[in-house]
Amino acid sequence: MTDPSLTSLVAELSKLAAEYVPSDGHDAASQAPKLALVNLSKKIMYSLMDPGMMVQAHSLQMAEMVCIRTLLDLKVFEKMSSEEEGKTITAKELSERSGVQDTLLERLLRPLVASGFITQSPDDGSYGSTRFSQAYTSFPGLFFTLMFDHFLQPMTDLPKYLQKHGAVEPTSFYVNPYSDYHNASDSGMTTWEIMSKDPEKLKTFQIGLTTGDAMVPVTGYYDFNQLALTPAELEKTPDRVSLIDIGGGVGNVVKRILDAYKDLNPENVVLQDQENIIDMASKEKIAPHGVQLMKHDFWGPQPVKGAKAYYFRRVFHDYSDELCAKALNQIIPVMAPDSHILIADMLLPEIMTDKEAHTAALDVACMVMGGKERTEEDFRRLFDSVGLEVVAIHRAPGAAAGVVEGKLKTE
């Protein structure tokens, strides 16, 4: 007898497939129809799988990730991609090109054939590249390497970490799965200091992080123009600041904000970061002329009083609630009644769906380093704990991200 739920899912898939129009766009709107088809296909697949098949699927995924990471290190995909489209290469030929033993190559390539990452000819067993393996010779491969080296490897030791430190979420920037994995939990070093000991891995991490920028858009959903100072405000307080970008790097975000929101005067905008970062910002001159560059560690007292907005973008997810509360408590004493704190970050759904699956993965990745992604309710609790209230949450269209806007609690 036919399973009615399966029949319903297949009918829905057929309908979506008939309506689907391929797109090369990478924005949320372009990706949505494609993701809907992928997620529905997964539902059909899972409806057919039994637990034994699930174990086999997970085993293949583990082998696939390890083999991809190893072959990236050996630059094998680059050797395969040099073939003309549709051409294949034997393990022996690939061995001669890459310097990797042919029998080892075959063992590493088999799981990737099984997963569809590469192809294998049924005639002579030779191997062919696909759009996936070709793409992994460039930026997608860098991001995969970042996720594997900095998150997956320490994550595999999470059971051991929890046995050692207790079954509670990691909250320290000094003791967490990442520091434990690198045998540095007693070193007193932060995650970034541990990472800096391997310049090549640090470089991969920094390059790979640019993908995260697209997940939390800078513009298009919070109106920064409303922070512009009126003539009356300037007359009353001539040196008042409209916006402070705290931990804002070398100025890329400030530039994008000022390019998009013309009412804001760069002379009323401040960019704050660590001394070495501000020195870089001074040399690179990315921030528009007039923006004040200020050396500041946000764990210490905020030096700018009464700014209209204190802005953190993609900062809070690196830290625990306790540390985020500490950062907020440096600002609260200098806030004016009309000052606002703006937190731009990922926003986890309260009920997880396949559409936001990537946010769940990113949250576990953050946990490895003692940070966390948060839901709207998480942010409300965090703000409430330090005497702030959330007055609005500005959702980025089509993305699991937003700006959480807060102010001092009123009696």
Structure token pair of residue 9 = 């899912």
* The residue type at 247: G
Beta bridge partners of 343: 312, 404
pLDDT, tens only, 154-174: 999 999 999 999 999 998 889
- Inter-CA distances, 319 with 8, 209, 239, 367, Å: 44, 16, 32, 9
Structure confidence at residue 85 (pLDDT): 61
Helix/strand/coil for 196: coil
Whole-number Cα distances in Å, 403 to 180, 242, 243, 330, 388 = 33, 17, 14, 20, 15
Of the candidate ranges 55-59, 184-188, 212-216, the one whose mean pLDDT is the lowest:
212-216
* Buried/exposed 124-159: b ≥16 CB within 10 Å, e otherwise: eebbbbbebbbebbeeebbbbbbbbbbbbbbbeebe
Architecture of domain 4-135: Orthogonal Bundle (1.10)
Taking all residues of the chain, what is their mean pLDDT, rounded to a whole number?
91
Per-residue pLDDT, averaged over 353-358, amounts to: 83
SS3 408: strand
Q: Which residues, listed in sequence order, are joined to residue 392 by a DSSP beta bridge?
A: 405
The architecture (CATH level 2) of 218-355+367-408 comes to: 3-Layer(aba) Sandwich (3.40)
269 neighbors 241 (Cβ within 8 angstroms): yes
Confidence of residue 183 (pLDDT cuts 50, 70, 90): very high
Q: Vertex 398, ends 343 and 225: CA angle to 5°?
A: 50
Q: What pLDDT is attached to residue 211?
A: 61
Least confident interval from 171-175, 201-205, 286-290:
201-205
Q: For residue range 362-411, list pLDDT tens digits in order.
A: 899 899 999 999 999 999 999 999 999 999 999 998 888 999 999 999 86
pLDDT of 87 reads 86
Q: Would you say residue 84 has pLDDT above 80?
A: no
The yes-or-no answer to whether 4-135 and 218-355+367-408 have a common fold is no
pLDDT band of residue 53 (cuts 50, 70, 90) is very high
Q: What is the pLDDT of residue 208?
A: 63
At residue 213 the predicted structure's pLDDT band, cuts being 50, 70 and 90, is: low
Query: Residue 263: which pLDDT band, with cuts at 50, 70 and 90?
Result: very high
Domain coordinates in residue numbering, the chain: 4-135, 139-208, 218-355+367-408
247: left (phi over 0), alpha (psi -120 to 50) or beta: left
| 112-141 confidence digits (pLDDT tens) | 999 999 999 999 999 999 999 999 999 889
Band (pLDDT 50/70/90 cuts) for residue 186 is confident
Catalytic site residue 150?
Answer: no
pLDDT top residue among 410 and 99: 99
Catalytic residue among 26, 182, 289, 317: 317
